[in-house]
Structure 1
Amino acid sequence: MRQWLKIFLAGFVLWVATVAVTAWTANSNLIPALVLLGSFLVPVTFVVWAYGRGRTADVTVELLFRAFVVGGLLGVLGASLLESWLLRPSVWAYLGVGLIEEGVKLAALIIVTRRMVRRTARDGLVLGATVGFGFAAFESAGYAFNALFTPVGLSLSQLVETEVLRGLLAPVGHGLWTAIIGGVLFGAGNRFTPRVILTYLGVSALHGLWDSMNAIAIALTLLFTGKKWQFDQLRIGQVPEVTEAQVHIYTVLDLGGLVVISVIGLLWLRAIARAAAKR
């Protein structure tokens, strides 16, 4: 059995056991273990998978660990600071989030790999993905922790639902985007060439579209199917009721948009990986 699959299956069994014991005993001391297991399981699994497929002599386990923990944590801290300083509510806020988070992950990748003597595009793909998955793991832990608290008390079900959802989406999120920019950066000899800059802007745009897809789906649903009375309510600052048909249309647009963004990112990554394999 492949190493990444062993890690995933063992971690999944432990996570399920932790959920069951926490629910059975109502022991809040188990919450930190549940948050960490659920948030780190998928990112760690994909890092091991990427390492197995793209391993080179220059990418050591120690470097991989630094990229995941130090790079991921530096990215989360940097993004939190910059977003609190620079972002204000606007239609461009999600694009700003994409630019900031992809920028800090790129900076974290450069910092943790600064002592590498040789760099290849394949190394950039693996280490970029590792930094991105580290970022995703720490971010998911925060989301899971916040989901625990509700107006009526602690909610184990909301915590579990948040971890499951973010685990399912993790492979086509931060790890994918940072792998793309990492592969291009290392392929360019760690220099900020026009291609590297355009790639950074491209993955930032994908990131911004991903984060804003909920709002885009709502806007498109109203644009295509909105009733006059709904627009009248919006003009006076009220949230209008929606029809059952509009709920279905919104769901299709929201999920469809995420699928399209994911496919674009995966095809982009595949093209970079193929080009790297030919060198």
Structure 2
Amino acid sequence: MTRGDRPWHQQAWFRIFWIGLVLWLAAVGVTYWTANANLIPTIVLLGSFLVPVTFASWSFEHSRRENHLTIERILAAFLVGGVMGVLGASVLESYLVHPSTWMYLVVGLIEEGVKLAAVWLMARRLAAHSTLDGIVLGAAVGFGFAAFESSGYALTALITVHGLSLRDLVSTEILRGLLAPLGHGLWTAILGGALFRTARRTGHLRLTGALFASYLGVSVLHALWDSMHGIALALTLVTTGAQWQWRLIDLGYDPRLTNQQAVLLTVYQWIGLLAISLIGLGWLRRERARGRREEAVTGTASPTILGAPPME
């Protein structure tokens, strides 16, 4: 029995989320009331890290696994792996990403590649590997990446031509917080599971055809996610575009959408994001099921957590 089997209100992830949410709301309220710009870093950090830390904790608590992952390794994966991923992606994208039809696919390949490399590094010297361990470690790296990336987007939204915008900062953090569980953490969890499943069979972390296929798959999901606005815009114009809008496109201008088209664009975009999320969640569920079967076959016992004895 794991901690994840306890009532949800007694689990650490639940306390982390609600305490963090209350503190973030308090920071936003006090900043709005006092106009104290010194509190902005507090809002950025709390808002950017709240959901990623919550879900990293949730994935750790809800996985039956051998006692190979410690809280120290999970924390290192979140912080070190997350920073390594962000820095590596930034350097590679500055050289390799250029405006083109395939731009978002290149971004997906780069970011999923650097996160996979970070998981690989964090998995060194583990005594053994299991698919469920890989999912947890991958989720930690992915959510760390998401947290640091979101803090950058939040700061960018804060700075406008009219000065600092608390409203734009808060709205950006809310949106990215809602979408965080369906992005980087999910995709890297899938990659971590695939990496560890290979290592479980061979005894070594290595690149195989199955792992490479998983890498390409999550990169495509990543690319579709990032390009969904453009895809939704294209679908909107194909289904409802007027002749004058197509003429503007031929001249190299972006056509202005009508109110009805703007609504349809939003609908298409959210339907697309939902479809991508369901594919990713279904894929992760299959990975978890494989991990459960592996443990059942090998007779793996439930782990101790933070040095505590196994729960009966």
2:178 maps to 1:168: yes
TM-score by length of 2: 0.88
Instruction: Say which of 87, 91, 100 aligns to 2:97.
Output: 87
2:19 maps to 1:4: no
| 2: CA distance, partners of 1:251 / 1:240 | 16
AA aligned opposite 2:22: V
In the other structure, the counterpart of 2:282 is 267
CA drift of 1:249 comes to 1.4
Give deviations 1:192-232, integer Å, cap 9, x for gaps: 11111000000000000000000000011111111111111
In the other structure, the counterpart of 2:298 is none
Instruction: Say which of 227, 232, 242 aligns to 2:247.
Output: 232
2:214 maps to 1:199: yes
In the other structure, the counterpart of 2:267 is 252
Unaligned runs of 5+ in 2: 1-9, 200-204, 295-312
In the other structure, the counterpart of 1:102 is 112
Give deviations 1:42-76, integer Å, cap 9, x for gaps: 00000110000115410101100110000000000
Instruction: Say which of 13, 21, 32 aligns to 2:30.
Output: 21
TM-score by length of 1: 0.98
In the other structure, the counterpart of 1:71 is 81
Aligned with 2:226: secondary structure?
A: helix
| 2: CA distance, partners of 1:239 / 1:62 | 50
2:228 maps to 1:213: yes
AA aligned opposite 2:36: N
| 2: CA distance, partners of 1:216 / 1:72 | 29
Aligned with 1:90: secondary structure?
A: coil
In the other structure, the counterpart of 1:180 is 190
Instruction: Say which of 115, 118, 128 aligns to 2:138.
Output: 128
Instruction: Say which of 69, 76, 81 aligns to 1:59.
Output: 69
Give deviations 1:139-179, integer Å, cap 9, x for gaps: 00000011100110000000000000000000000000000
Counting matched residue pairs gives 279
2:133 maps to 1:118: no
AA aligned opposite 2:44: V
In the other structure, the counterpart of 1:241 is 256
Q: Percent identity?
A: 57
CA drift of 1:126 comes to 0.1
Aligned positions of 1:30-49 closer than 5 A: 30-49=39-58
Aligned with 2:62: secondary structure?
A: helix
CA drift of 1:236 comes to 1.6
AA aligned opposite 2:271: G
In the other structure, the counterpart of 2:308 is none
TM superposition outliers: structure 1 runs of 4+ over 3 Å:
none
Q: RMSD of the alignment, in Å?
A: 0.8
CA drift of 1:3 comes to 1.2
2:166 maps to 1:151: no
| 1: CA distance, partners of 2:254 / 2:113 | 35
| 2: CA distance, partners of 1:122 / 1:201 | 21
- Higher Cα Rg, which structure: 2
| 2: CA distance, partners of 1:56 / 1:153 | 52
Deviates most, 54-63 or 177-186: 54-63
| 1: CA distance, partners of 2:255 / 2:196 | 50
| 1: CA distance, partners of 2:77 / 2:27 | 28
Aligned with 1:241: secondary structure?
A: coil
| 1: CA distance, partners of 2:121 / 2:72 | 15
| 1: CA distance, partners of 2:255 / 2:139 | 42
